[in-house]
Amino acid sequence: MESASPFASGPPRQRPSMVPNPTGVVQTPLVGRSMAPSSSVPLTSPFGSALPGFSRPAATPFASRPPPPGAIPQGPIAGNGPRIPGFTAPRTLPPPSVQPAPPSAASSSIRQPTPYASATQDSGLQSYPGSPPSGASVATLPMPFVGPPASQQFGRPPTSQPLFSGPPRSQPPFAGAQYLQRPMAGSTNSQLPLAGLPTSQSPFLGPPTSQPPFTGPPTSQPPRPNTPQPPFAGLPTAQQFGGPSTQTLTGPPISQFVGPPTSQPYAGRSSSPSQMATPSSQPFSMPPTVGTSFGSPVWPSQPGQMVPSLPGNVQAPPRMFGMPPGMPGQPIPPVLPAMGHSALAGPQVSTQSKIDPNQIPRPLPNSSITIFETRQGNQANVPPSATSIFVVKDNGNCSPRLMRCTLNQIPCTGDLLSTSSMPFALMVQPLALPHPSDDPIPVVDFGESGPVRCSRCKSYINAFMRFIDHGRTFVCNLCGFTNETPRDYLCNLGPDGRRRDADERLELCKGTVEFVATREYMVRDPMPAVFFFLIDVSLNAIQTGATAAACSAISQSLADLPDGPRTMVGIATFDCSIHFYNLRRASQQPLMLIVPDIHDVYTPLHTDVVVPLTECRQSVEQLLESIPSLFENNKVSDSAFGAAIKAGFLALKPTGGKLLVFQSVLPSVGIGSLSSREAEGRTNVSAGDKEAHKLLQPADKTLKTMAIEFAEYQVCVDIFITAQTFVDIASISVVPGTTGGQVYYYYPFSALSDPGKLYNDLRWNLSRPQGFEAVMRVRCSQGLQVQEYAGSFCKRIPTDIDLPAIDCEKTIMVTFKHDDKFQENSECAFQCALLYTTVYGERRIRVINLSLPCTSMLTNLFRTADLDTQFACILKQAASSIPMNSLSQVREQITNLCINILHAYRKFCATVSSSGQLILPEALKLLPLYTLALVKSIGLRNDGRFDDRSYWASHVMSLSISLAVPLVYPRMISIHDLTAKENDGSLSSSNIPLSSEHINDDGIYLLENGEDCLIYVGNMVNPDTLQKLFGVTSVDGLPTQLVLQQFDNDFSEKLSVVMNEIRQQRCSYLRLRLCKKGDPSGMHFMSYMVEDKTAGGLSYVEFLVHVHRQIQTKMA
């Protein structure tokens, strides 16, 4: 790490200083929650890195400040700069200035207000955001992790430390510190404005101590204002400072934690107002600016249900984000009762007991909007957290929504990468929904000649291709080949060496462009949008109401299909045979054609099974209306699912298209029939545990073989499972998983509460931005090679993946390995090319470019590590390994990965720290928490149903980063006090840690993970509240199947607003479930309290202790 020139030097030493405390045993780390900024906690190196952070401009968008001059890379200037040179080196991030303002106030509440003062001095830190400014904080704690040093941005800070050390006063212990820092920063820059920001900081409290240090390091903010900060925050700073921290550790430390800090975090940053202005919610709202036309999903409500009217929402959003009402000051609840004091007890010395669980790192919500410039000063900016809200200005690198890397600096060598233990992968979400204010993706038409490409590696022209020789040739940034510039693409170079037309030619200045594909890119005319619905009408489906729900959902969704004569639909039903319908007949009455041979399937008609929607809409609607009654007396309980999808495929074979299957029972007959092996597995106890994971593997290869054929003919299968029993999702999910589709799972299906979600899921499935018959390839600079693609697709040749359909939510993970070294100052480029057909039949090539700097310093890797992306990567790897390995192995692998990463950091980047401290890199300070949550997630729990686990695994494989985190670490908010909150119900303001200690009997809590939404009702809830929200007066009167209704009162309306906000944010209607204390449903709810100690798992504090011990063992 040290090597990292910039920062390196300084820091290391400093750390040592920090260390001091170590002895102190305790240690608590700095954890605070918020230290936002810099990741680098630990020692030296970290800091080093941290500082640099400043430089990255990106961060704050608006920035009020000017950033950056310093911003620029080396520029040690760090904005704040003044201080320590060391710090200066701001790399990238100039703190934007967004500055969150320093909520000083808040801070005050916390302990150390003072800091500000100091802050000022430090000034450097603009980032308020990162409250955690100076990395210093950190380490303090003894074992526990210390905080995350604010490494990243600050990076360099170390240097500063020295300075600090001295100065630092201890004062600032935690929270306060955070604020302080910002302030300081602010001062310098004036950024303070942001005020709201503090939030982030709050997270870690730890920092306080460090504060002093901060001053110096201030810069820490770097992390860019965006939401992310919170994470890093606190700790780091502290450490950096070293000195201070120590103190903390020692005696006082503990108390520090206790501190108030927490609360603030939530407050959320108010962040720059300006942003607010922007539409905010990405997905939904606004009209997509982007060239691509994606509609925003709307969540129509089902009758009787809450009405999340979208439209409204759209507008609403702004508020949400914007509003972070009075955050700053509010200390909110966090303070809490110190909870788990004892928690740590076991392992460590008594001291531990002092750890305040409220101060250990936790994610902080952030509702402010930042503006992210993808590049600045010819250098890539580190993107904001995937879960935060930001607006992208495409300056040459793609929007991080479309593609982002687990590492924002690329290790020069494979050895460096393996030393870090961190995963190296790209998450590509090629059609991701833009924020309404994002730069639109330009469409570029090269006419008949098609887009210019490198003649060797075939990569597409992009902003990083270097034109030389007066523009007559250009050098490919991916393979290095020198190409001749096509005659009609010639242009002189300007004095800066760029083509004179570089700014007019969007492909030469934007990270993402869409080329109009020429005939050369088509093997046939672009396919029409074809949707074929397959509905289960077996006994079970009819009786549970699943058939009726499916028909009604389809019927209502017809309106959302793309307009135009090219949109085709078909309908078939199935039980133990397949029923097609000839929809185009003179008499208007459909003709039912049954294919009874479910071992050798065929389509009964040549035409008229799939018909143009515009012509046959009426008959389609009539048919859908009559299907439930047609089969109302059906006595067939068997399901020929495999044969049915084969038949549907045959109907779609000539064109390709989407096959949407509604399935209710285990496929029991015909091709691809399955057995109820879950039950068999249970009875066969001996095979039970050891082989249990085999039940997560497909039963056989039949469906896989079929799916590959489907993919070949561009047929994508989505399956809506409305089951009451085991349906073997492990086997079934292979089909969507291979064809670019997905599984929707409603278990146990309820005709009362599920049709709403079914309808909304279907509607979003049909109306979300999507493309057909796609092929995708990711290219990278020489020195790297693609190792593997993971996601929902079919791969027939090694280099490309086939996606019969691709939509805005599907994410593909691409892992890389080194096959050569990079030069220290070079950049490594990635280019994802997606050739697809729009729903309107246009053939397009979306080219997404990302160019990142290479580094040979480990510190830099840690400083710029992207936690959310790494975690998504780990999550996907875990999902793909659970069918292959026993659960305990998988859990161990994950835990070890976490330990190894932290160990690498500890060993190489924080060497100075005391071995008694658990030191977390600022950027990855939540890694232990997420790892713990992952180990306890549905997919990895022993007690899970096999279908639930298989569904979880299949769901995860194509899940986007922004949904991956909440899936594992859900968001919980309280509802009973909704009206008391003044923020109009903005949900981001008050996340509650997932610990049962935060659940009160008189409270109502809402927990959502993007998929399910649990509403937990304590047994002492105020009846008036119940009446207002649910229309009942006692807990006992609550229905088990919940359909939220909106009542005419403020409370209920606010809940609606909150629900709608969540739905929009997740692009999911959410499956509502009511949980009552003392009920099995209550237990279910409690199983999401991942920070609790459970029969099979450690509590969060215990886990930290465990991790720390392991690291210590390794160090020894």
Partner 1 sequence: MSEFVDLETQDGVRMTWNTFPGTKQEALSCVIPVAAMYTPLKPIPDTPVLPYSPLRCRICRSILNPFSVVDYVAKIWVCPFCFQRNHFPQHYMSISEENLPAELFPQYTTIEYASSPDTGPKMPSVFLFVVDTCLIEEEIMFLKSALSQAIELLPENSLVGLITFGTYVQVHELGFGHMPKSYVFKGSKEITKEQLLEQMCFFAGRPRPNVGVIAGPRDGLSPESIARFLLPASECEFVLNSVLEELPRDPWPVPADQRASRCTSTALSIAASLLGLCVPGSGARIMAFVGGPSTQGSGSIVSKNLSEPIRSHKDLDKGAAALYNKAVKFYEALSKQLVHQGHVLDLFACALDQVGVAELKVVVERTGGIVVLAESFGHSVFKDSLRRIFQSTDYDLGLAFNGVFEVNCSKDVKVQGIIGPCASLEKKGPLCAETVVGQGNTTAWKMCGLDKKTSLCLIFEIARKDGPESISQHTSNQFYFQFLTYYQHSDGQMRLRVTTLSRRWVTGSADVQDLLAGFDQEAAAAVMARLVSLKMEIEVFNNSPDETAYYRMILNRENVANAVVMIQPSLISYSFHSSPEPVLLDVTAIAADRILLLDSYFSVVVFHGASIAQWRNSGYQNQPEHETFAYLLKAPREEADAIMKERFPVPRLVVCDQHGSQARFLLVKLNPSVTYNSNNPPPPGGDILFTDDVSLEVFLDHLQRLAVQ
- Range 533-572, binding partner 1 (CB under 8 A): 539
Given candidates 516, 558, 591, 751, which one binds partner 1 under the rule CB under 8 A?
591
* Closer CB to partner 1, 376 or 634, in the complex: 634
User: To the nearest whole angstrom, how small is the minimum distance from the Cβ of residue 621 to partner 1?
Assistant: 14
* Closer CB to partner 1, 237 or 577, in the complex: 577
Residues 6 or more apart whose CB falls under 8 angstroms from that of 128 comprise 98, 99, 100, 101, 102, 103, 181, 182, 183, 185, 186, 191, 192, 194, 195, 197, 198, 201, 221, 225
> Cα separation of 194 and 367, whole Å?
13
User: To the nearest whole angstrom, how small is the minimum distance from the Cβ of residue 603 to partner 1?
Assistant: 9
User: To the nearest whole angstrom, how small is the minimum distance from the Cβ of residue 583 to partner 1?
Assistant: 11
User: To the nearest whole angstrom, how small is the minimum distance from the Cβ of residue 572 to partner 1?
Assistant: 12
484 sits in which H/E element: strand 482-484
Given candidates 486, 596, 1031, 1039, which one binds partner 1 under the rule CB under 8 A?
596
User: To the nearest whole angstrom, how small is the minimum distance from the Cβ of residue 1095 to partner 1?
Assistant: 44
- Total residues contacting partner 1 by CB under 8 A comes to 32
User: To the nearest whole angstrom, how small is the minimum distance from the Cβ of residue 589 to partner 1?
Assistant: 5
Torsion of CA 640, 642, 646, 647, to 10 degrees: 10
Strand-pair partners of 493: 499
Question: Which of these ranges, 43-51, 425-433, 475-483, 586-594, lies near partner 1 under the rule CB under 8 A?
Answer: 586-594
Based on the shown chain and the rule CB under 8 A, indicate whether residue 817 belongs to the binding site for partner 1: no
Record the tokens describing residue 38, joined without a space. 């810099």
Longest Cα–Cα distance of the chain, Å, equals 91
Question: Which of these ranges, 226-234, 628-636, 882-890, 938-946, lies near partner 1 under the rule CB under 8 A?
Answer: 628-636
Strand-pair partners of 657: 715
User: To the nearest whole angstrom, how small is the minimum distance from the Cβ of residue 586 to partner 1?
Assistant: 6
- Phi, psi at residue 516, to the nearest 5°? -75, 125
Based on the shown chain and the rule CB under 8 A, indicate whether residue 639 belongs to the binding site for partner 1: no
Given candidates 255, 315, 419, 637, which one binds partner 1 under the rule CB under 8 A?
637
* Closer CB to partner 1, 562 or 590, in the complex: 590
Q: Is there a contact between 95 and 54 (Cβ–Cβ < 8 Å)?
A: yes
Based on the shown chain and the rule CB under 8 A, indicate whether residue 650 belongs to the binding site for partner 1: no
- Range 692-711, binding partner 1 (CB under 8 A): none
User: To the nearest whole angstrom, how small is the minimum distance from the Cβ of residue 969 to partner 1?
Assistant: 47
Residue 217 three-state SS: helix
- Range 862-881, binding partner 1 (CB under 8 A): none
The secondary structure of the chain in percent helix, strand, coil, rounded to multiples of 5, reads 40, 15, 45
Based on the shown chain and the rule CB under 8 A, indicate whether residue 516 belongs to the binding site for partner 1: no
> Cα separation of 104 and 202, whole Å?
11
Given candidates 592, 687, 751, 1086, which one binds partner 1 under the rule CB under 8 A?
592
Residue 705, phi-psi category: left (phi > 0), alpha (psi -120 to 50), beta (remainder) = alpha
User: To the nearest whole angstrom, how small is the minimum distance from the Cβ of residue 534 to partner 1?
Assistant: 16
Q: Is there a contact between 653 and 647 (Cβ–Cβ < 8 Å)?
A: no
Would you give the binding string for partner 1 spanning residues 884-913, x where CB under 8 A is met? ------------------------------
* Closer CB to partner 1, 637 or 893, in the complex: 637
Based on the shown chain and the rule CB under 8 A, indicate whether residue 621 belongs to the binding site for partner 1: no
Based on the shown chain and the rule CB under 8 A, indicate whether residue 288 belongs to the binding site for partner 1: no
Residue 74 three-state SS: coil
Based on the shown chain and the rule CB under 8 A, indicate whether residue 604 belongs to the binding site for partner 1: yes
Q: Tell the burial category of 3 from Cβ atoms under 10 Å away from its Cβ (0-12, 13-18, 19+).
A: middle
> Cα separation of 197 and 233, whole Å?
11
Based on the shown chain and the rule CB under 8 A, indicate whether residue 827 belongs to the binding site for partner 1: no
Radius of gyration from C-alpha coordinates of the chain: 28
Question: Which of these ranges, 128-136, 474-482, 630-638, 959-967, lies near partner 1 under the rule CB under 8 A?
Answer: 630-638
Question: Which of these ranges, 127-135, 270-278, 596-604, 942-950, lies near partner 1 under the rule CB under 8 A?
Answer: 596-604
Given candidates 587, 690, 1036, 1048, which one binds partner 1 under the rule CB under 8 A?
587
- Phi, psi at residue 129, to the nearest 5°? -55, -60
* Closer CB to partner 1, 487 or 635, in the complex: 635
Given candidates 320, 598, 613, 723, which one binds partner 1 under the rule CB under 8 A?
598
Strand-pair partners of 715: 657
Question: Which of these ranges, 22-30, 493-501, 602-610, 945-953, lies near partner 1 under the rule CB under 8 A?
Answer: 602-610
Record the tokens describing residue 197, joined without a space. 């920001």
Question: Which of these ranges, 501-509, 623-631, 940-948, 1034-1042, lies near partner 1 under the rule CB under 8 A?
Answer: 623-631
Based on the shown chain and the rule CB under 8 A, indicate whether residue 457 belongs to the binding site for partner 1: no
Q: What stretches of 226-336 show up as alpha helix (H) in DSSP?
A: 229-232, 234-241, 243-249, 253-258, 263-267, 273-277, 310-322
* Closer CB to partner 1, 293 or 626, in the complex: 626
Based on the shown chain and the rule CB under 8 A, indicate whether residue 616 belongs to the binding site for partner 1: no
Based on the shown chain and the rule CB under 8 A, indicate whether residue 664 belongs to the binding site for partner 1: no
Residue 588 three-state SS: coil
Based on the shown chain and the rule CB under 8 A, indicate whether residue 635 belongs to the binding site for partner 1: yes
> Cα separation of 424 and 800, whole Å?
19
Given candidates 585, 682, 701, 817, which one binds partner 1 under the rule CB under 8 A?
585
* Closer CB to partner 1, 602 or 1078, in the complex: 602
Strand-pair partners of 931: none
Question: Which of these ranges, 402-410, 635-643, 834-842, 1106-1114, lies near partner 1 under the rule CB under 8 A?
Answer: 635-643
Nearest to 313 by CA among 1065, 1050, 1072, 1047: 1065
Based on the shown chain and the rule CB under 8 A, indicate whether residue 928 belongs to the binding site for partner 1: no
* Closer CB to partner 1, 587 or 683, in the complex: 587
Strand-pair partners of 690: none
Residues 6 or more apart whose CB falls under 8 angstroms from that of 501 comprise 491, 508
Record the tokens describing residue 960, joined without a space. 């986007």
> Cα separation of 897 and 905, whole Å?
12
Based on the shown chain and the rule CB under 8 A, indicate whether residue 577 belongs to the binding site for partner 1: yes
* Closer CB to partner 1, 457 or 591, in the complex: 591
Based on the shown chain and the rule CB under 8 A, indicate whether residue 576 belongs to the binding site for partner 1: yes
User: To the nearest whole angstrom, how small is the minimum distance from the Cβ of residue 587 to partner 1?
Assistant: 6
Based on the shown chain and the rule CB under 8 A, indicate whether residue 618 belongs to the binding site for partner 1: no
User: To the nearest whole angstrom, how small is the minimum distance from the Cβ of residue 630 to partner 1?
Assistant: 5
Would you give the binding string for partner 1 spanning residues 779-798, x where CB under 8 A is met? --------------------
Cis? peptide before 748, omega within 30° of 0: yes
> Cα separation of 556 and 484, whole Å?
54
User: To the nearest whole angstrom, how small is the minimum distance from the Cβ of residue 550 to partner 1?
Assistant: 18
Given candidates 349, 457, 491, 593, which one binds partner 1 under the rule CB under 8 A?
593
Nearest to 253 by CA among 917, 763, 1102: 917
Based on the shown chain and the rule CB under 8 A, indicate whether residue 597 belongs to the binding site for partner 1: yes
Buried-exposed string 878-901: b where 16+ CB fall within 10 A, e elsewhere: bbeebbeeebeebbeebbebbbbb
Residues 6 or more apart whose CB falls under 8 angstroms from that of 418 comprise none
Based on the shown chain and the rule CB under 8 A, indicate whether residue 629 belongs to the binding site for partner 1: yes
- Contact residues toward partner 1 (CB under 8 A) are 539, 575-577, 580, 585-587, 589-598, 600, 602, 604-608, 626, 629-630, 634-637
